[in-house]
């Protein structure tokens, strides 16, 4: 029921309808702008939701698990800084001394119950708990370069390499089409295949892949990449334990080794030069770049993800202390965004999550499942 003045106004003033229409048009424009910003009007724009849908298409639904690097164990230990990186970065983590570390070892891919295999990419994630509430989180892989250099490339690789529902294997036609569109991947794959796979997590080198910047006390910055290099001696993968039927042989070996003796990695920081690529994780830096031994990561305790201290942690690569800054690598922002959405999804599903592949009992039995 419109009041009388309104009816009279409409009858005597047709301009009123135009003004009403204008108000409607303004409000609709605001709604459209909002919807556009939220990605609802752009079916081809790569959004967080579409990235998560690609993980679901590739791996199926695994409630409560990380969408990538889904199979893992928690570890704890400490970082003993050598003080050698302190001249390049003002971050408190590099001052001489010891700070606690909460880490996670995992296998790449969204399948939380996949069988351990030598060719699967291994990862080490670390959360350095700096004094004063600052944190440094980093996720590293045992490959020398990343196969893609953009969120779009990652998405397309995920879709192209997912198993065909009929054959159960990736479709070679789709892989060929993906590679044709991504010459950076074609260049990176031989480097990834060349790297020698070791016998386990404990003697793997893990690389940051993305570049960052170290900022010193005076505000000067240098491009860096970092790696954790094992103190444990190299041993080539023999792939026999897997054949012996232990689906979790990589994790079980790691747990047994840590229980026996703490395992250590040197944190090696590689300093890039001005023209070294910082925005492309598929490109290695030239050999012979200056390297600094920033200190030693010691891991002395392992636990299942179920009840472990790494579980409620998002190893977001943009959680950085003052003194370490992101580079211009677009993958950093993409990883941060995708990890955040994965973290939210699994937090929402936490009450439905089945036990992880590496259970608390398995860790208590020191890796003998």
Closest CB 348 distance from another protein, rounded Å: 4
Nearest to 49 by CA among 344, 357, 279: 344
> Is residue 75 within 8 Å of 262, Cβ to Cβ?
no
Question: Are the C-beta atoms of 148 and 154 separated by less than 8 Å?
Answer: yes
Task: Reduce the DSSP state of residue 89 to 3 states and report it.
Answer: coil
Nearer to another protein among residue 266 and residue 309 (C-beta):
309
Q: How near is the Cβ of 218 to another protein at its closest, in Å?
A: 15
Give the shortest CB-56-to-another protein separation in angstroms: 16
Catalytic residue (choose from 62, 69, 195, 351): 69
Q: Taking the CA of residue 73 as centre, how many other CA atoms within 13 Å lie in the half-sphere pointing to its CB?
A: 29
d(CA 25, CA 245): 66
Phi first, then psi, for residue 277 (nearest 5°) are -65, 125
Output 95 or 247, the one with its CB closest to another protein.
Answer: 95
Helix (H) or strand (E) run with residue 258 in it = helix 249-260
CB 327, CB 225: distance < 8 Å: no
Strands 291-303, 71-81: pairing kind: antiparallel
Instruction: State whether residue 132 is helix, strand or coil.
Output: helix
Comparison of 26 and 175: residue with beta carbon closer to another protein: 26
Q: Which is nearer to another protein, 27 or 236 (CB)?
A: 27
State the nearest-atom distance from the C-beta of 177 to another protein, in Å.
22
Question: How many angstroms separate the CA atoms of 243 and 245, rounded?
Answer: 5
Annotated active-site residue 69? The verdict is yes
Nearest to 280 by CA among 146, 190, 178, 157: 146
CA atoms in the 13 A half-sphere facing the CB of 60? 9
What residues does 301 pair with on adjacent strands?
76
Nearer to another protein, 86 or 338 (CB): 338
Residue closer to another protein, measured from CB, 23 or 166: 23
> Which chain residues interact with another protein by CB under 8 A?
3, 9, 16, 19-20, 22-23, 26-27, 30-31, 33-34, 37-39, 45-49, 51, 133-135, 151, 311-314, 316, 318-319, 322, 326, 330, 332-334, 336-338, 343-344, 346-348, 350-351
Closest separation in Å from C-beta 268 to another protein: 25
**Nearest CA among 309, 329, 308 for reference residue 317:** 329
Least separation in angstroms between CB 77 and another protein: 19
Catalytic residue positions?
69
């Amino acid at each position: 029921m419109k009041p009388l003045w309104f009816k009279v106004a409409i009858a005597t003033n047709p301009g009123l309808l135009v003004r009403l229409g204008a108000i409607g048009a303004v409000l609709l424009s605001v709604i459209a702008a909002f919807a556009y910003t939220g990605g609802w009007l752009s079916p081809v724009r790569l959004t967080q939701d579409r990235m998560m849908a690609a993980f679901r298409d590739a791996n199926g639904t695994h409630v409560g698990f990380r969408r990538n690097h889904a199979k893992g164990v928690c570890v704890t230990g400490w970082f003993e800084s050598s003080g050698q990186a302190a001249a390049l970065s003002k971050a408190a983590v590099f001052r001489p001394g010891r700070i606690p570390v909460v880490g996670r070892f995992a296998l790449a891919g969204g399948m939380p119950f996949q069988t351990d295999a030598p060719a699967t990419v291994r990862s080490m994630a670390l959360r350095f708990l700096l004094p004063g509430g600052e944190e440094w989180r980093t996720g590293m892989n045992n490959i020398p370069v990343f196969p893609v250099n953009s969120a779009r490339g990652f998405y397309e690789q995920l879709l192209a390499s997912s198993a065909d529902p009929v054959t159960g294997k990736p479709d070679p036609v789709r892989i060929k089409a993906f590679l044709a569109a991504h010459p950076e991947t074609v260049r990176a794959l031989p480097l990834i295949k060349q790297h020698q796979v070791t016998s386990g997590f404990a003697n793997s080198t893990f690389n940051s892949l993305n570049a960052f910047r170290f900022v010193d006390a005076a505000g000067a910055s240098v491009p860096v990449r970092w790696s954790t290099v094992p103190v444990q001696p190299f041993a080539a993968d023999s792939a026999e334990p897997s054949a012996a039927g232990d689906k979790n042989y990589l994790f079980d070996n790691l747990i047994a080794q840590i229980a026996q003796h703490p395992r250590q990695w040197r944190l090696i920081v590689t300093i890039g030069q001005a023209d070294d690529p910082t925005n492309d994780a598929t490109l290695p830096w030239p050999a012979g770049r200056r390297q600094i031994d920033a200190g030693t990561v010691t891991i002395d305790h392992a636990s299942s993800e179920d009840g472990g201290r790494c579980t409620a942690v998002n190893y977001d690569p943009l959680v950085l202390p003052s003194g370490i800054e992101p580079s211009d690598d677009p993958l950093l922002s993409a990883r941060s965004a995708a990890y955040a959405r994965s973290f939210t999804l699994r937090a929402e599903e936490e009450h439905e999550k089945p036990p992880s592949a590496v259970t608390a009992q398995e860790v208590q039995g020191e890796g003998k499942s």
